């Protein structure tokens, strides 16, 4: 195996990055894939939403693994990896990660520390999903440098064009300087209120503006209190409300991601030949 590494990124806060990482991850696991989730946000929302409510008491987190790369220590097989009962593995985060972000600034190869961590586990998984923090700082650059693909969740409620342009500039810079194979595998509309026309208009506008350059996933994630409830439950939408519209949407997203990744891999193999 050589995992597809997907960063879930948008510097705008509260757009559904963490919710998408958790539910796409469990969706992929239910589709029979081996999945590792990586919490790359010092807020540790992904870690907490998977039921580890006290991240600061965990014996090993992402920042410890990154520290090992910085100090040239070996990472042991399975070190720092938690196993969630819905079939996904997790490298958790804690507040320590914000200290790591600060110390990265003065490090050699500072943009590729996370890539080096993931290189040690990549062969064990089909998919590695990285939940990014809401900024374009050094941790997010590390995530983008480690990834093959990026999914950009966008909240349908209002038009984020300015923020998107800034994100696309960062993605292009990372692509040119650190990671030429990086692809934006899609903009994902989240928290779509299907009862209003506004979401439909935003969605149409996004497709008009970016559709020729960037894929916009054909599935939208609907807004639902069911989705908001799960972060406190420590489980995915698939066990909280398996028949609901959000579970249905994340199931469809899972299939779309599998398809897009297959195409990306075939395309890449063609170039590499």
Binding site for Mg ion (CB under 5 A): 17-18, 45
Residue 94: phi and psi, rounded to 5, are -145, 175
CB count in 10 Å sphere of residue 80: 20
Rule CB under 6 A: which of 126-155 touch ligand ATP?
134
CB of 41 to Mg ion, least distance (A): 5
Nearer to ligand ATP, 22 or 117 (CB): 22
In angstroms, give the least distance from the CB of 227 to ligand ATP. Answer: 3
Contacts to ligand ATP from residues 31-60, by CB under 6 A: 41, 45
Burial of 248 (0-12, 13-18, 19+ CB in 10 A): middle
**Contacted entry of Mg ion, ligand ATP, none for residue 231, CB cut-off 5 to 8 Å set by kind:** ligand ATP
Both tokens of 133, joined, read 């923090």
User: Per CB under 6 A, does 190 bind ligand ATP?
Assistant: yes
Distances (CA, A) of 273 to 112, 140, 262, 267, 269: 25, 31, 17, 10, 6
What's the CA gap between 265 and 271, in Å, rounded? 10
Verify binding: residue 235, ligand ATP, rule CB under 6 A. no
Does position 14 interact with ligand ATP (CB under 6 A)? The reply is: yes
Which positions ≥6 away from 131 have C-beta within 8 Å? Answer: 8, 17, 18, 21, 22, 37, 38, 39, 40, 41, 45, 46
Does 24 bind ligand ATP (CB under 6 A)? Our answer is no
174 touches ligand ATP by CB under 6 A? no
Give the count of residues interacting with ligand ATP (CB under 6 A): 19
Q: Which residues bind ligand ATP (CB under 6 A)?
A: 13-19, 41, 45, 134, 190-191, 221, 223-224, 227-228, 231, 246
């Amino acid at each position: 195996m050589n995992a597809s590494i997907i960063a879930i990124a948008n510097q705008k806060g509260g757009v559904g990055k963490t919710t998408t990482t958790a539910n796409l991850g469990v969706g992929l696991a239910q589709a029979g894939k081996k999945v590792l989730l990586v919490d790359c946000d010092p807020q540790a929302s992904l870690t907490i939403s998977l039921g580890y409510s006290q991240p600061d008491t965990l014996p090993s987190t992402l920042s410890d693994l990154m520290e090992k790369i910085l100090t040239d220590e070996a990472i042991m097989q399975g070190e720092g990896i938690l196993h969630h009962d819905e079939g996904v593995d997790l490298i958790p985060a804690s507040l320590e990660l914000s200290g790591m972000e600060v110390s990265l600034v003065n490090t050699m190869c500072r943009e590729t520390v996370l890539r080096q961590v993931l290189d040690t586990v990549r062969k064990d998984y089909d998919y590695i999903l990285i939940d990014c923090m809401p900024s374009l700082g050094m941790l997010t650059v590390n995530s983008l440098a480690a990834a093959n693909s990026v999914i950009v969740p966008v909240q349908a409620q209002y038009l984020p064009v300015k923020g998107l342009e800034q994100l696309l500039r960062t993605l292009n810079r990372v692509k040119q300087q650190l990671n030429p194979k990086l692809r934006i595998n899609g903009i994902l509309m989240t928290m779509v209120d299907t009862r209003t026309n506004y979401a439909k208009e935003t969605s149409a506008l996004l497709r008009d503006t970016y559709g020729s350059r960037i894929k916009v996933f054909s599935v939208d994630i609907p807004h639902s209190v069911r989705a908001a409830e799960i972060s406190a439950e420590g489980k995915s939408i698939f066990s909280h409300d398996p028949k609901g519209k959000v579970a249905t949407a994340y199931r469809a997203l899972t299939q779309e991601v599998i398809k897009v990744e297959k195409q990306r891999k075939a395309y890449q193999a063609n170039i590499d030949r």
